[in-house]
Amino acid sequence: MLINCVAYKDGAKLADCPIDDISEYLAQPGCFVWVALKDATPDELLKMQEEFGLHDLAIEDARHGHQRPKIEEYDDTLFAVLHTVEIGPTDELVIGEVDIFVGTNFVLSCRNRTQQGFLGVRSRAEREPHLLKHGPAFVFYALMDAVVDRYFPIIDALETDLEVVEEQIFQPKLGRSNIEQLYALKRRIGVFKHAVAPLQEAVAKLIAGRVPQVCSDNREYFRDVYDHLARMNASLDSLRDTIAIAMQVNLSMVTIEETEITKRLAAYAGIFAVATAFAGIWGMNFEHMPELKLAWGYPAALTIIAGACAFVWWRFRKAGWL
């Protein structure tokens, strides 16, 4: 679906143009066209390929989708794949995709499986004509910057979820629940990492070494995006390390709880062992046992057993086992 198609010249909006008139605007000196598509059909991509002369391999990647974040160069055209990350209704991460084609006089963005649009990016660019004069390279930066900036709230949400679990680690009887939450959080961080880490590697190509000609005059802007991605990668690595430590602490707390239960069971078993020992001795029924003929032998035996059990219980209580 076509969202909009606008021609710009000297940093100002020239006109909203029909797709069939794109070639006429591309022929004008100093003019470039910015086209935005959503869930583009194969026919729409084919039409864009004809208008902008896009490479077959880039169009094939855009048509199939589910690509790894990357930036590839085809002659004087760049093809970039960015992943959008959104929080779903059940706190799962929903991954979308934005394919961007950048040429010397055009920008084409195709977003798939995402509800986050870029109308705000277009408005921002049109409010800054001195920057829009940089042409397609600045638009490419603005789109990429918008995608990357939307990562920050996701990281904040992940950090908040981790803090909630950390507060529960020292609460009793929550060991299994904590492990489940920590593992689910680790999986979400892994999914997010797959969107951020490859993109950082790709953006590095735009600020160092042989920079594509279309982006050569805008290195400082892409360096800003690279810095954001580097901070995010560091934050994600820190979160993963913290989760690993939290899992170990949680397992240690579970072990401590199990040890406390084992100590209590052992203590009660020791108390009953004393009673069993006395009952076993007096229950042998030998003919010449002195206690058998005593009138007060039975209550005395019960008293001795109860006293011995009470003494053992007191010793375990004093030792902290009960």
pLDDT for position 237: 94
pLDDT, one tens digit per residue, over 257-314 is 877 778 788 888 887 888 887 777 667 666 666 666 667 777 777 787 788 888 888 8
Min mean pLDDT across 128-132, 150-154, 207-211 is at 207-211
Distance CA 185, CA 193 (A): 12
pLDDT for position 147: 94
Q: Where are the domains of the chain?
A: 1-132, 260-319
Q: Report CA-CA distances (Å) from 19 to 6, 7, 269.
A: 10, 11, 85
pLDDT for position 256: 80
Enter the tokens of residue 288: 């010449």
Topology (CATH) of 1-132: Beta Polymerase; domain 2 (3.30.460)
pTM score, whole prediction: 0.80
Give the residue-averaged pLDDT of 187-216: 88
Enter the tokens of residue 54: 């896009």
pLDDT, one tens digit per residue, over 146-200 is 999 999 999 999 999 999 998 888 888 888 888 899 999 999 999 999 999 999 9
pLDDT, one tens digit per residue, over 14-33 is 888 888 888 888 888 889 99
**Residue in 242, 304, 214 with CA at minimum distance from that of residue 32:** 214
Does this chain's domain 1-132 share its CATH topology with 260-319?
Answer: no
3-state secondary structure 18-52: CHHHHHHHHCCCCEEEEEEEECCCHHHHHHHHHHH
Task: Count Cβ atoms below 10 Å from residue 208 Cβ, excluding itself.
Answer: 11
pLDDT for position 21: 87
Q: Architecture of 260-319 per CATH?
A: Up-down Bundle (1.20)
In the three-class reduction of DSSP (H, G, I as helix; E, B as strand; rest coil), residue 261 is classed as helix
Give the residue-averaged pLDDT of 136-144: 92
pLDDT for position 95: 93
pLDDT, one tens digit per residue, over 75-93 is 889 999 999 999 888 888 9
- Are 80 and 99 a contacting pair, CB within 8 Å? yes
Residue 7 has pLDDT above 80, yes or no: yes
Residue 87 forms beta bridges with which residues? 93
- Segment holding 131, helix H or strand E: helix 129-132
Q: Mean pLDDT for the chain? A: 87
pLDDT for position 82: 95
